Amino acid sequence: MPPVTPADPTRPRIALTAGEPAGIGPELIARLAGEDLGADLAVIADARLMAERAEAIGVTLELEEFRLDARPPPGRLGIIDIALAEPSHPGSLDPRNARYVLETLAQAADGAASGTFDAIVTAPVHKGVINDAGVPFSGHTEFFADRAGCRVVMMLVARDLRVALATTHLPLAAVPAAITRDGLSTTLRILNTDLRRRFGLAAPRIAVLGLNPHAGEGGHLGREEIETIEPVLEVLRKEGLDLVGPLPADTAFVPSQLTGFDAVLAMYHDQGLPVLKHAGFGHAVNVTLGLPYIRTSVDHGTALDLAGSGRADAGSLRAALQLAIELAARPR
């Protein structure tokens, strides 16, 4: 038996979910397992799967059962072992493992809510296969929000560019109706609060994009700016929020226009995220704001085409861990 090292209360404890078993999540975690980033990690995954994927990419991985009162010795990784329903093969989705994926998320959420973990970091899940298994599922963001019973905001960070979303995983046709005064006010309040509380920005300046081309062209190309976005900004400015917009989205990301803004609020997923990923894919981080705990994630998906090959880049997972550790260290 290796010697037991008592837990160190100064090191954050982080739940790390391995995500879709047929994707790149397990091997990215195995790749980072040997690095001490300054936190104690509890991987929530099937232990045999983790060992198989480590072997597939030629990485040595030593696992031991996660304990609250002790740290694994250097080079070993704490694990909360959740059994797969069926053996998983790289690149090959199996809906029978969807419940396993959801169980890993549930254990992470409950552990963070109870204070066992200081933060959750998630490797990618495959949203489609969970739905194929008959479970309606839009994403981690919505799953953790539902479980915590609160409203949240998705924000991706690539160096000094922060892009938050007013709507998340919705068909494009459903977006206009989903942008309501209530929803937008809540999103902006959460964004403003968490930029201050978690990111230490004393008075965040937020650029708010329009929904339509040219921010509606004075009502000739859509009325959402006039009827929904502008009235919300007017009310929130009176509360002291520093909001600029609605801005035409096509020029808002021109570097000279972005100067001075701490974050951009895009109205929908593919209005904001392509720009963010163009700027930072491989080291960007997805953060869920508004939760009672910290949750970060990678900027990429399950990359089934790379699973098991050892060619997937662990940069975004490392960045997600580093940001979670940094946020956990801040007073809240």
286 annotated ligand-binding residue: yes
Compute CA distances 319 → 45, 87, 215, 235, whole Å.
20, 30, 34, 36
**308 interacts with, out of ligand LD2JLWAY, ligand NAI, none, CB within 5 to 8 A per kind:** none
Among 273, 275, 289, 294, binds ligand LD2JLWAY (CB under 6 A): 273
Distance between CA 265 and CA 17 in Å, rounded?
28
Residue number, 191 or 298, with CB nearest to ligand NAI? 298
**290 interacts with, out of ligand LD2JLWAY, ligand NAI, none, CB within 5 to 8 A per kind:** none
Three-state secondary structure readout of 225-240: HHHHHHHHHHHHHHCC
Q: Is 270 in the site for ligand NAI (CB under 6 A)?
A: no
Q: Residue 180 corresponds to which tokens in the numbers above? A: 């309501």
Q: Binding pattern to ligand LD2JLWAY, positions 108-147, x when CB under 6 A? A: -------------------------------xxx------
Handedness of CA 178, 260, 204, 296 (dihedral sign): positive
Residue number, 141 or 228, with CB nearest to ligand LD2JLWAY? 141
Handedness of CA 266, 136, 320, 109 (dihedral sign): positive
CB contact at 8 A, 46 and 84: yes
Q: Is 17 in the site for ligand NAI (CB under 6 A)?
A: no
167 annotated ligand-binding residue: no
CB contact at 8 A, 208 and 235: no
Residue number, 192 or 286, with CB nearest to ligand LD2JLWAY? 286
Rounded to a whole number of angstroms, the minimum distance from the CB of residue 256 to ligand LD2JLWAY is 27
Q: Binding pattern to ligand LD2JLWAY, positions 227-266, x when CB under 6 A? A: ----------------------------------------
Distance between CA 224 and CA 324 in Å, rounded?
35
Degrees (nearest 5) of the Cα angle 45, 46, 47? 105
Q: Is 305 in the site for ligand NAI (CB under 6 A)?
A: yes
Report H helices in the chain.
Answer: 25-32, 47-56, 98-114, 127-132, 140-148, 175-178, 181-197, 224, 230-238, 249-252, 255-258, 269-280, 315-329
Rounded to a whole number of angstroms, the minimum distance from the CB of residue 139 to ligand NAI is 7
CB contact at 8 A, 40 and 67: no
Q: In this structure, are strands 153-158 and 285-289 parallel, antiparallel, or unpaired? A: antiparallel
Rounded to a whole number of angstroms, the minimum distance from the CB of residue 139 to ligand LD2JLWAY is 3
Count residues near ligand NAI (CB under 6 A). 17
Q: Is 300 in the site for ligand LD2JLWAY (CB under 6 A)?
A: no
89 annotated ligand-binding residue: no
126 annotated ligand-binding residue: no
Among 99, 127, 189, 205, binds ligand NAI (CB under 6 A): 127
Binding-site positions for a divalent metal cation: 169, 214, 269
* Binding positions for ligand NAI, rule: CB under 6 A: 24, 124-128, 140, 297-298, 300-303, 305-306, 312-313
* Binding positions for ligand LD2JLWAY, rule: CB under 6 A: 139-141, 273, 286, 297
